[in-house]
Each structure stands twice: as structure tokens, then as C-alpha cells.
Structure 1
Amino acid sequence: MQACHVKPKGSSKKVFILIQLIGGNDGLHTLVPLTNYSKLTEARPNIYLPENKILSLRGTSDTGLHPALAGIKDMYDHGLAGFIQGVGYEHPNFSHFRSSDIWLTGSESSNVLYTGWMARYLETKFKNYPDGFPNAKQPDPPAIKIGDTGTFLFQGKAMDMSIVINPTLPFGASGASANGEKEACFGDEEVMTIREILLQTDKYASVVKKALDTPFASSKLYPKAGENTLADQLKVVSKLMHGGLNTSVYVVDLKGFDTHVEQVTSSDKTKGVHAGLLAKLSQAITCFWDDVVHMGREGDVAGMTFSEFGRRIVSTSGLGTDHGSSQPILYFGANIDNQLIGKNPTIPDKVTVDDNLAMQYDFKSVYASVLQQWFRAPEDAVKTVLQGDFKTLPIFES
């Protein structure tokens, strides 16, 4: 991994990658608070990581990484990654569905929004979308979701502002008819909506297919197709970037983080479901970054992870953890402020199964930082998009 002592200059073609860790990632098993290690072993006697296996981070002895995150450690040590401790929201909801919606729409816990926070920002750049799009000035899709489903993140006032690309299927026009008529039957509104989405995707099919078909020697670090779904998705993102697509926001995902049981194996706590997922996350990001460097796009690309929630402090009897509150967020790129933002979470002396990690930063402060520092969105526009004034964090280099 090449160190980035001199930050590369970015262009106007900035790209941001959002990596959704679906299921609720265990932050205490990802970014380990070594200052609270003894309390951690008491709260999690059946799943805690052996201290001598935890990866150290440059510049600190207080916090370490799960041993499966060797690639991320390397990126951190070379100035290419950082972490934000204790990200969440007031009055956390522990439903996968509701908490996912809160993170994707940027709502408060107590209110429901029907548009994604990123869609609301994109609507300031693609005014009156989808009317008049694509056009000569903006021929590429505003956003792309890689995977097998769409995301609430890109749901705009009129319609979804993204197209979906499934890495396991060939990409092409859907063949949806523009002449379909609304029928007076159950589900007719939904059918019309789906048709409109397919038609909008078809409008972008030629430019997307051209980008995908542009020859590109992807990094040799990638595993075989199908071995790491996140790596497969990020490989598509790098191909689209190299192929000339100017889409600015991508969402990819990694499923399986709902680790109530078998988070670790009984014989080796560095192994198990969670270790396998973190290994895939680390591998996928490092492979993708190798592509970015090969393209010479280091100054243009950044990304971050998020999950619908973290996990509880106390482990379950089934070698796992239950739904919790706040979580650490990983961010990466060449033009970031490489640091650990926040402090190690507090673990009570007499911890119970109901105890959660305290929130240090509202997740909308992270979003505000992305919009203002990365996309250079005006402060007033950010307040409108996020429906409030949120203090930014030092995530990106000014």
C-alpha cells in the first residue's frame, strides 16, 4: 500500500461509495477499545478477541482492529482510512426495517420520511428529475445501486434517482413498453411505478453498457467471482468509473451481520461469521482501492461504511450479540483526515444485557460532513437536505 503524504488533487468528477453492512455490525468486535479490554472480557466472556490477536493501529495503543481487517489496518497506517466512534441517533430503534429507513432517509427516530437523504441532495443538482433527463450536459445516471435490490437512499420526490445493476446478470435494456396503460385493478399504481423506473433505466442503458464494455485490467487482488459479493460489486463500480461514467454516488452492500449466534467459533474467537464478513469487507475495499490507484483517481474517490445499528455490549449464550445502538463508521480515501474521531466507548462496571453504547455523534453530522466537505454543497442546502443544522466532523482534508 502506497503512503499518501502528499494529498492528490481531485477533479470535479468526484465519486462517493456508501457500503451498507446489512444486519447490524458489532462495533466492539470491529474496532476494539483496548482501554476497556478487561471490562470487555467480563461482558463478553464467550466471544471476546484474544488481546494478542488484535491488530494495532499507527499512533495509538488505545484502540485496535479485528484481525480479519488486515487490509484496512494497512490503509489506516498509510493515511487512507479513518474511523468515527459512537455514531447513532437519539432514541434508537432496534427493528432492522425501521432503523434502516432512518439511516437511509435521514429522519429522526420519531418521524417518517419518504425520500432518501442522498436523493434530496441529488435533486438540488438534477432539478425536476426525471423530466428532461438524461441530457447532453448530464447524460449519466445520478446514482447507481450495485446489487440485487434498490435502496431507499435514492428515492426522490418523483421517483427513484438511481438505476440498479446486478453483477451476476448481464446489463441491458429491460424492454419495458412506454405505451402501457393504467388498469383499474389492485396494484395498478405499483405496476405503473415499476414501469416508469424500468423506462428511466432504459434511457441510461447505452451509456452504462458502454462503460461496462470498456476494456479494463481490474486488480489482480480480486477473488474469483462469487467468492466475495462485495468485491464483485465494487469491481463493477471501478469498471464504470474507468469506462467514463460520471455518476457521483454508488451504494453497495454486504449482508449477514445479524449475528445473534455463532458470531465466533467456540474453538477460535478470531474465526466465525463476523470474522468472515470483516475479511470480505477488508478484501473488497483494498481490491477496489488498487483499481482506483491504477486509474489515477485517488483524489476523486472516497467512501464509508454504515449499518442500521450496532450490537449490545453483553454477548448472548449462543456466541453472538443482540441488536444495539451506536456503531463505529469506517471512512476511506486519499483526501481524508486520517484519524480516530471520538473516544473509546464506555463499558459500565456492572454491565447488563440491556446496556448499550452511548452515542457520541449523530449520524446526520456524518452526512453533513460528506455533503459539505466532499461534495462542497452549500451550508444552507445541507440544512435543507438534512432538515436541521448538524455540526460537521473533520473527515475530509480541506
Structure 2
Amino acid sequence: MAIRPSRRQVLAGGLGATAALPLLRTPRLPRWLRSKEIYASSLSYKKLVIVQLVGANDWINNLVDPDEPTYAAARPTISLPKASMVRLDSTLPYHLHPELMPFKRLYDKGWLTMLPGIGYPVPNYSHFRSMDIWSEADPGARNVQRGWLADFLDNAYVGNDPITALDIERSLNRVFYGHPVPVVRNPDSFQFETDPATSVDKNVELAQIEQNAQFVRAAPNANLKFVADSLGRVPADSRLLTTIGSTYTPRATYPTVDPRLASDLQLCARYITGGLTTPIYQVSSGGWDTHANQVDATNRAGGRHGPLLAAMSGCIEAFLLDLDAWGAADEVLVMVWSEFGRRVGENGNLGCDHGHAGIAYLAGKLIKKPGIQSPLPAWTSVQPPYDKANFLHTVDFRSLYGTILEDYWGVDSAKVLGQKWAGLGLV
């Protein structure tokens, strides 16, 4: 479905492209850049690292009771054999996909919370529309105007961190629409290109950027001010992001199944262990739209979904162990989400189609309530034909956001979400 971007979306997306322009380095910067404090913050916010699974993660292939009769009936060719699955513990009937062994280890350490059945009323099965809904924290959202984390940064955040959020993706994520956020994957290319003749020329050009930005900020047009603020911050942000944590080396082994996700989380680890006070980091993993070949016909733990689960859980485990080895895991929480789940039953192509309820994860040493912390959707609630059947959601995704805002950051969720969403007491 084609979606026409709003003017704010164009501006927000343009920021990512502008911020990623290359620039040659210089040992000297103008005074307005040299004087910027890079570590100071009047209020320290615990850090949130968001991992978005783009395409719709099939939660039933993550966590299930393999003895449930309807499970095999609904998925005759893609259900996992019980013998191949990983049981959570002896007190529960639920098992994990065998490629989620890293999550089993986090579960055993008390570092993992699972929220199966997460969703929202009146589900929408369009990837783009559902991502809009999650990003704006509004089940009625169409074409995101402001992301929920942009609202947090504008309406509830009171720190003075030099970089309030960092988007480690190819373009600006919807959750940040409406707020200037650097988009960077390669710190060495996160720079402005200026005249390479002399460093003096470069410094003059950088100073001119700020002067021009100040002139535009004085204009009454809000969109012009947004662009000016975004553009004017890039030189200082680029200097900070290319230097901080430059001596970082991983202290845990990251899996190589998804080199991009591993690299993105290592960049998060570099900045966190290097002392960057940024409270929000965003990364994503693609390929989760498993309409076909979700499993291999001869190996149901294989196919497309198994490697995705292995990479996601393995990279998150390595990231947390890496931070722990650096002494930085006590201030970091990982949140994993996907735009919706998939149908109860398979579709005849060794896969399943877009569904309602999904699953979210929280991971880290800060977890207070590990394990399964939401009601699992009931198999008794679904009837054939299973390829058209959906589990209804059992927990609203805004309760997850309320957990982050109220319980983790200690802010009033109503300032961000438009109404009070009490936390679930998980962190």
C-alpha cells in the first residue's frame, strides 16, 4: 500500500539523510563546537535499546505449549516437534524455539521478560499502518506525525544530554518523527563534506552552518526551525560520534548469522561503554515477514524463521554480556517488538499470514519480574479454518510503553501517550 508522507515525515526523514553526509575530519573546530560539553547531564536517564523486528515475528514459533492439541492441528507442517524445543523450566509447559537458546540462558539468569499476546484493539494487518500505530502509540494513527519517543523527548525529558537519541538504521525511524535525531551506522561517514583545501576553510564553513541555522531559527515557521535545529547540530554531533568509544573492543562473542544486527548492537555498546549519556538507541532487524518457507520441509527448526531467531536472541545476549563485562549492564534495558503477530494456522506455503497478537521482550539486569508476564492467548478461543484465525491480544502495547515511561524513567506517561498508562512493574 502506497503511503503519501506528510510534510513532517519528509523533514524528519530528510534529517537522517542530511546527517549522514560525509565530511572530512579536522583536528580543530570553531569555538562554538569545541565548547560543547559532551558528557554532562543534569539528570541521568537509564538507557533503552530498542530492537524492532520488521515484518511481523510469529510469536507462536517463539513460545508455545507443544502438547496443546490445536497447535499441531493448526500447523500440521510447520509446528515444531516437542523433542527439538527448549523447555523454559520444569514448572511450566511452555517451550522455546530451539534457536532461542540464548534467551533461555537469559531467562535462567532472570534477565528476560516475555509479553506474549501483545497488541491493540481493532487490529490492522498492514505493515505500514501497524508500524504507524506502534510508533505514534495511537491505534487510530495514519501516517505518523509525531513518534512516541519524539513526544517523550519534547514533553517529558528534562536532561541536557548532547545527543538525546541515536538511530542506528538506514533512515529515521517513525518513533522519532518530529524530533531531531542523528541517524548513523558508520561513525566515520557521519560527517559534513567541506572544502578540503585547508582546515581553516573547513572551520569557517562549519561556523557558517551554525550562523545560518541561527538566522533560520529566528523565523516564525516551525518547520524551518526544525530543519535549522537539525542541521545546526550535525557538526558537533559528528565530532562526538566519531571520537567517543573509539578504543572499544567487544568483550563478548557476537553471532555472525546477522552481521548487520551484530554490528549495530556493537556500535550501541561502543557508545554506552565509552560514556555517551544518550538515553535511547534504536536498531532493527528485517526479514520477519514469513508468508512462505518459515520452516524447512525437512527441518522445521530451520527455514527462514530459525536463523532470524538465532541472530536476534544471540546478538541481544552477546550485547548484554558485553556490557556486563564492561561494567555497564546495570543501566541498560533492551526492548524487542514487532508490528503484529501471525495467524494461528499455516497457509499452505510453509508459512503463515499477518495476524493480530504478537510478542514483546524486555531483557537486561534491571528486570524485576522475569519470565512470562502476560496471559497467553487461549487456544480454545480459535476455530477452523485456522489459517484465517487470530489470537486476540491480552496486553495493550501502550502498557509496555507505560512500563518504560513510568517504571523505568519515572515520568508521567500521560505527557507522552496522551493518557495515563500504568507500568506493569517489570523494571
Q: TM-score range by the shorter chain?
A: 0.7 to 0.9
Q: 1:113 to 1:150 in 2, by over 3 A?
A: closer
Secondary structure of the 1:368 match is helix
1:215-364 aligned at under 5 Å gives the runs 215-223=247-255, 227-336=258-367, 337-347=369-379, 348-364=382-398
Residue matched to 1:7:
none
Aligned residue among 162, 172, 176 for 2:191: 172
2:222 matched to 1:203?
no
Residues 336-388 of structure 1 show CA distances to partners (whole Å, capped at 9, x for unaligned) of 111211233222253432211111111001100111111111xxx31131112
CA distance in 1, matches of 2:255, 2:227: 34
| Maintained 8 Å contact 1:311/1:324 | yes
CA distance in 2, matches of 1:306, 1:77: 21
2:386 matched to 1:370?
no
> Which amino acid in the other structure matches residue 342 of structure 1?
S
TM-score, normalization by structure 1 = 0.84
1:98-113 aligned at under 5 Å gives the runs 98-109=129-140, 113=144
**Post-superposition offset of 1:45:** 0.8
Q: 1:314 to 1:191 in 2, by over 3 A?
A: farther
Q: 1:298 to 1:51 in 2, by over 3 A?
A: same
Residue matched to 1:147:
169
Q: How many residues get paired?
A: 362
| Maintained 8 Å contact 1:346/1:357 | yes
| Maintained 8 Å contact 2:295/2:306 | yes
**Post-superposition offset of 1:298:** 2.2
Aligned residue among 92, 116, 123 for 2:154: 123
Structure 2 spans left out of the alignment, 5+ residues: 1-42, 195-205, 217-221
| Maintained 8 Å contact 1:259/1:321 | yes
| Maintained 8 Å contact 1:34/1:61 | no
Secondary structure of the 2:322 match is helix
CA distance in 2, matches of 1:79, 1:388: 31
Residues 114-161 of structure 1 show CA distances to partners (whole Å, capped at 9, x for unaligned) of 11111111113557xxxxxxxxx73521100112121111123xxx33
**Post-superposition offset of 1:62:** 2.0
Q: 1:47 to 1:294 in 2, by over 3 A?
A: same
Secondary structure of the 1:315 match is coil
Q: 1:139 to 1:95 in 2, by over 3 A?
A: same
**Post-superposition offset of 1:101:** 0.8
Secondary structure of the 1:162 match is coil
CA distance in 2, matches of 1:345, 1:373: 25
| Maintained 8 Å contact 2:187/2:238 | no
> Which amino acid in the other structure matches residue 364 of structure 1?
R
Q: 1:228 to 1:322 in 2, by over 3 A?
A: same
**Post-superposition offset of 1:207:** 1.7
Secondary structure of the 1:40 match is helix
> Which amino acid in the other structure matches residue 161 of structure 1?
P
Secondary structure of the 1:369 match is helix
> Higher Cα Rg: structure 1 or 2?
2
CA distance in 1, matches of 2:331, 2:349: 44
> Which amino acid in the other structure matches residue 249 of structure 2?
A
Aligned residue among 103, 112, 124 for 1:72: 103
1:11-22 aligned at under 5 Å gives the runs 12-22=44-54
Of stretches 355-364 and 137-146 in structure 1, the one that deviates more from structure 2 is 137-146
Residues 11-35 of structure 1 show CA distances to partners (whole Å, capped at 9, x for unaligned) of 9341111110000110000112335
> Which amino acid in the other structure matches residue 206 of structure 1?
R
**Post-superposition offset of 1:392:** 2.4
| Maintained 8 Å contact 1:19/1:254 | yes
Secondary structure of the 1:303 match is strand
Secondary structure of the 1:289 match is helix
Secondary structure of the 1:163 match is coil
CA distance in 2, matches of 1:92, 1:349: 18
Secondary structure of the 1:394 match is coil
CA distance in 2, matches of 1:288, 1:39: 36
Root mean square deviation of aligned Cα: 2.6
Structure 1 spans left out of the alignment, 5+ residues: 1-10, 128-136, 183-188
CA distance in 1, matches of 2:424, 2:332: 18
> Which amino acid in the other structure matches residue 265 of structure 2?
L
